[in-house]
Amino acid sequence: MEIQRTVKENYYRVDPKFKYKVLKASGGETFKFCYQCGTCTATCPVARFTDVFRPNKIIHLAKLGIRDVAHSDAVWLCVNCYSCTERCPQGVKVADVMRLLKNLAVEEGHIPEFSKEFMKNIVKTGFVYSIPSSRIKKREALGLPPPPQTKLTDLKKLAEILKISELIE
Ligand code: SF4
Ligand code: SF4
């Protein structure tokens, strides 16, 4: 997992107050119960495909007060499927912790480029990526219905309320 370290000294920056920030946020109150069994990572569909994303490691680093974990692009790989939360034997709301780490990162002005691209595409097309016409034709050939249409006007209004363009810029 790529976590930013200080360049000169090559150690993680520790903020002893960081875990309290996580604990106070909605969904973060359970993360102190983690005992590192690794069930979340074994369950996670994303961790199955990449070794840069290990939910149990992220929880561990956050508990240690390593706030750089929120600035790591790794947390943004979480797709909030909630499989980990369902299976955690300690009742840790792992998916909520991932979401709030992302929120903390956004508060500090950090959004990885790939997430910005997703946001742009959602506002423009309603999907995280522009579906190529070849894919739509393939669906037709297979007798599948076209992808569901999003009300782009509503989406644009929502993006304005959430100030998405400011976040992206
Ligand atoms: S499943 Fe729960 S207790 Fe186990 S490592 Fe993940 S968060 Fe911690
Ligand atoms: S919610 Fe995120 S961390 Fe949990 S299993 Fe799904 S992708 Fe993995």
Joined tokens for residue 110: 């950090």
Closest listed residue to residue 31, CA positions, set 131, 130, 112, 104: 104
**Position 57 confidence tier, pLDDT thresholds 50, 70, 90:** very high
- Name the class of domain 18-107: mainly alpha
Residue 6's pLDDT is what?
42
- For the ranges 4-18, 48-62, 146-160, which has the lowest average pLDDT? 4-18
Alpha carbon distance 97, 129 (integer Å): 26
Alpha carbon distance 58, 84 (integer Å): 13
3-state secondary structure of 129: coil
Closest listed residue to residue 98, CA positions, set 30, 17, 159, 12: 30
37 lines ligand 1 (CB under 6 A): yes
Alpha carbon distance 28, 92 (integer Å): 8
Residue 139's pLDDT is what?
94
Cα 146 to ligand 1 centre (Å): 39
Section 118-135 average pLDDT: 89
CA-nearest residue for atom 8, ligand 1, is: 34
Does 75 score more than 80 pLDDT?
yes
Query: How is the chain split into domains, by residue range?
Result: 18-107, 113-168
Pocket test for ligand 2, best of 49, 98, 101, 102 (most atoms within 8 A of CB): 98
Alpha carbon distance 67, 61 (integer Å): 8
Ligand nearest to the CA of 45: 2
Helices H / strands E in the chain, number of each: 9, 0
62 lines ligand 1 (CB under 6 A): no
pTM for the model stands at 0.80
Residue 69's pLDDT is what?
84
Q: What is the mean pLDDT of the chain?
A: 88
3-state secondary structure of 95: helix
Residue 88's pLDDT is what?
97
Q: In ligand 1, which atom is closest to the CA atom of 43?
A: 1
11 lines ligand 1 (CB under 6 A): no
